[in-house]
Structure 1
Amino acid sequence: MPESRPSLELQGVSMSDLQRMIDERRLPPVDQWDPELCGHSEMRIARDGTWYHQGSPINRPAMVRLFSSVLRRESNGSHVLVTPVEKLEIDVEGTAFRAIEMQSDGTGSDRQIALKLDSGDAVMLGPVHPLTMVDTVRGPSPRVLVRHGLEAELSRSIYYELAGIALSEEHDPPGVWSNGAFFALEVAEDA
């Protein structure tokens, strides 16, 4: 089945219209499928978000969007591509997605923040899609929960934009509000 969903755009779209478009997207119910593991897909998602198959980059955005729609993270931290009849491992360096664009509306606790992902999808930062700061060997990594255990790492420019908001609003600890939830922009002490 070819991928026919266009990439969501943030610019020029109200937050309520964007939320409606996100809600209308129909993704496969990969959380309900649990076939036996069949092997490895010979695919990987590089740290920069490039998808590879047998060492060659996948250059068709629609193909990447299709594969990303059947991607799931298992409870053991591994990633799989899953359909009703097969499950294949896929290597993921870092996170499955990257947040590449941000739109913010409102101020303080009334703020809403939308993030566009490199897969063409979007999420609204909030209780369902929380922002966390993960301590990694490469340093702090700002991440948002996308779906089925999958995360998107925020681009450096988005992180700086969030930090600018946090500094201007003088929260202690520094952080941002979105959809009624507060997210600190620091790695938690117990992480």
Structure 2
Amino acid sequence: MTQNDKTVDLAENLWKRLRSGKPPTGRHPQICGDIPMSINRDGTWYYQGGPIGRIELVKLFSTVLQRDEEGGHWLVTPAEMARIAVEDAAFVVVEVTRDSDDENSTRAGEDQGHNGIIRMRTNIDQWVELDENHSLRVEENPKTGEPSPYIALDRGLEARLNRASFYQLVEWAEENTAPDSPETTLGVYSHGRFFKIGTVENDER
């Protein structure tokens, strides 16, 4: 048995335990504390130090993953809550697409180019649309100025856009600047909403 097989077996046993436990008396699952599971920055899941090399198993764990208000990540089932370590975001966007929204684009007086839909695929093949419930935020490294873009997912989770995905958004970017503003705001439209991805000083243009 290879090390990867051992890791998968251990992770499968953990999944069975989490799913088969009886709910405790009361409304909340039992808090088990930290377990030796982690997700690194590139979206790889680890258990007891080894990567979980079976994507189907990773997808199962992802269905019970939640993020609390303090940024902690938890596997939550009716029976147990177990915290795992996440280096950055739990998922990574690996593909973005854009298509037109035929129903919205036919509304009179609206710019058809602003009614398209941007969709993003994560590293576990989950698709999410950029909209008011799944918004975009971009953090900048204060030292290097390098952007780190994220899209909001359900249950408080986020996915970080990889470099190629973010560059695709930059290619689609449009200007949206208030009169007399010292900065030009760049962003993309999806579902008729504008999502900011950055700014440029007007004297730099």
Q: TM-score, normalised by structure 1?
A: 0.75
Paired position in structure 1 for 2:53: 59
2:147 pairs with one of 140, 145, 149: 140
Pairing 1:129–2:134 present:
yes
Unaligned runs of at least 5 residues, structure 2: 1-11, 13-26, 101-111, 178-184, 200-205
Pairing 1:73–2:67 present:
yes
Deviations 1:64-94 (A, max 9, x none): 0001111000122100001001000100010
Structure 1 position 134, deviation (Å): 2.1
Structure 1 position 110, deviation (Å): 1.0
User: How many residues were matched structurally?
Assistant: 154
Q: Which has the higher contact order (CA 8 A, sep 6+)?
A: 1
Corresponding letter in the other structure for 1:94: D
Residues 68, 180 of structure 1: CA spacing in aligned structure 2 closer, same or farther, 3 A cutoff? same
Regions of 4+ moved over 4 Å: none
Larger radius of gyration: 2
Deviations 1:86-113 (A, max 9, x none): 0001000100111111110136311210
Give SS of 1:143's match: strand
Structure 1 position 186, deviation (Å): 2.0
Paired position in structure 1 for 2:34: 40
Structure 1 position 34, deviation (Å): 3.7
1:154 pairs with one of 161, 183, 188: 161
Unaligned runs of at least 5 residues, structure 1: 3-32
Paired position in structure 1 for 2:197: 185
Structure 1 position 142, deviation (Å): 0.6
Corresponding letter in the other structure for 1:147: D
Deviations 1:130-160 (A, max 9, x none): 0111235673211000111100001111111
Distance 1:108 1:65 in 2: 35
Pairing 1:92–2:86 present:
yes
- What pairs up with 1:18-37 in 2 under 5 angstroms? 34-37=28-31
Pairing 1:102–2:109 present:
no
Distance 2:28 2:198 in 1: 36
Distance 1:34 1:72 in 2: 15
Structure 1 position 36, deviation (Å): 3.0
Say which is worse superposed, 112-121 or 98-107, in terms of deviation: 98-107
State the identity %.
41
Paired position in structure 2 for 1:21: none
Paired position in structure 1 for 2:187: 175
Corresponding letter in the other structure for 1:182: F
Deviations 1:2-54 (A, max 9, x none): 9xxxxxxxxxxxxxxxxxxxxxxxxxxxxxx8423112221000001100001
Corresponding letter in the other structure for 1:165: W
**RMSD after superposition:** 1.9
